Amino acid sequence: MINYVIWRILQMIPILLGVTLIVFVLLRVSGDPVLLMLGEDAQPEQIEALRLALGLNKPLYQQYLMYMADLLTGDFGNSLRYNGQPALQVVLERLPATASLAATGLLFAVVISLPAGIVAALKQHRMADHIASSFSILGQAMPNFWLGIMLILIFAVTLGWFPVSGSDKPLSVVLPGLTLGSGLAAMLTRMLRSSLLEVMQQDYIRTARAKGLSQSTIIVRHALRNAALSYLTVIGLEASALMAGAVVTEQVFAWPGIGLLAIQAINSRDMAVVQTIVILSSVIVMSMNLIVDILYSVVDPRIQHG
């Protein structure tokens, strides 16, 4: 198991190299940060001086190698926008907000999908199933930004139950969390329904029934854990969607996380910050996948890593 985790962490290195390379090149071919920083009416000498100071006059591969050398010492570069603060510090300051938003989204997704999926599977082709299935299709079809705006309109503006935006009140996280988690909840509900339906056809469920166990014991003890594998798979796959969703959701709710920061940084060509966000996000997504893979072997003793 330890070997497996080490192996998986080693595998992350080439992926991260690829990520830095792609981000680095894309950012540099998509526009000139110096022009953006100095404005349209800057003098050519000014531009040249700043370019020299930032090392932007060197060939691209040299810039990349210098950047990588700095990365290895923990230097992610300095933000152009936030008074030259270290980019890593700028991003890390915003990370807890996004983490709590994503955790809330995941929590909502699980809390909604677990009962909905079970009910849909047990009452297959009946009213409860149709209701749960309709809602899950709706949940997947609705874009995040639209759902967010609707939730604000109904629950914050009209009913006044929750804050409209920001993150300063305890209940602030509810609406953005719900917005972020809705798509995942929908997908998880459908996945749990179909895998439970499949599990309930298995021979060992027939054995459990032949033992005289009640329906609820059969579901909780015998069926759910077997169905959990595909459920976990979806969570692992959707970890990146959660990160991507955070960008939109934070924008809608003015949530001060790295999603909002990313948009601001891209708009102002704050390259160091964008690169840091992308690298950190990929580390987070890969870690989520690793955790899910480890959970597999906890849920199903047949899966052994090593």
Partner 1 sequence: MSAKAETASPVLFVKNLSTSFRMQDGRFHKIVKDVSFDVGPRETVALVGESGSGKSVTALSIMRLLAASNSRVEGSIQLGGTELLALPEAKMQAVRGNEIAMIFQEPMTSLNPVLPIGSQIAEVLTRHRAMSQSAAHAETIRLLEKVRIPEARSRFAEYPHRLSGGMRQRVMIAMALACRPKLLIADEPTTALDVTIQAQTLALIKALQDEDGMSVLFITHDMGVVAEIADRTVVMFKGEAVEVGRTEDIFNQPRHPYSRTLLSSVPKLGSMTGVPEPMRLPVFETSRENAETVPKARRSKPGADQPLLSVRNLTTRFDIRSGLLRRVSGRVHAVENVSFDIMPGETLSLVGESGCGKSTTGRSVTRLVEPTSGEIRLVGTDIMELNGRALRAMRRNVQMIFQDPFASLDPRTTVGAAVAEPILTHELETGPHVKERVADLLRRVGLGPDVAGRYPHEFSGGQRQRICIARALALDPKLIVADEAVSALDVSIKAQVMNLLLDLQETLGLAYLFISHDMAVVERVSHRVAVMYLGEIVEIGPRSAVFENPQHPYTRKLIAAVPIPDPARRGVKRPLLSDEIRSPVRPTGYEPAIRVYREVSPGHFVQQWGEEWGNAA
Site of interaction with partner 1 (CB under 8 A): 3, 6-7, 202-204, 206-214, 217, 221-222, 225-226, 299-302, 306
Contact 177, 105 (CB under 8 A): yes
Q: Which residue, 50 or 119, has its beta carbon nearer to partner 1? A: 119
Q: Which residue, 3 or 83, has its beta carbon nearer to partner 1? A: 3
Sequential DSSP letters for the chain: -HHHHHHHHHHHHHHHHHHHHHHHHHHHHS--HHHHHH-TT--HHHHHHHHHHHTTTS-HHHHHHHHHHHHHTT---B-TTTTT-BHHHHHHHHHHHHHHHHHHHHHHHHHHHHHHHHHHHHTTTSHHHHHHHHHHHHHHHS-HHHHHHHHIIIIIIIS--S-SS-S-SGGGGHHHHHHHHHHHHHHHHHHHHHHHHHHTTSHHHHHHHHTT--HHHIIIIIIHHHHHHHHHHHHHHHHHHHHHHHHHHHHHHT--SHHHHHHHHHHTT-HHHHHHHHHHHHHHHHHHHHHHHHHHHHH-TT----
Least Å distance, CB 197 to partner 1, is 13
**Tokens 């006059």, residue?**
57
Least Å distance, CB 301 to partner 1, is 4
Least Å distance, CB 225 to partner 1, is 5
Least Å distance, CB 98 to partner 1, is 34
Q: How far apart are CA 38 and CA 45, in angstroms?
A: 11
Q: Which residue, 169 or 225, has its beta carbon nearer to partner 1? A: 225
Q: Which residue, 217 or 267, has its beta carbon nearer to partner 1? A: 217
Cα separation values, 128 from 109, 117, 121, 133, 290, Å: 19, 10, 9, 8, 35
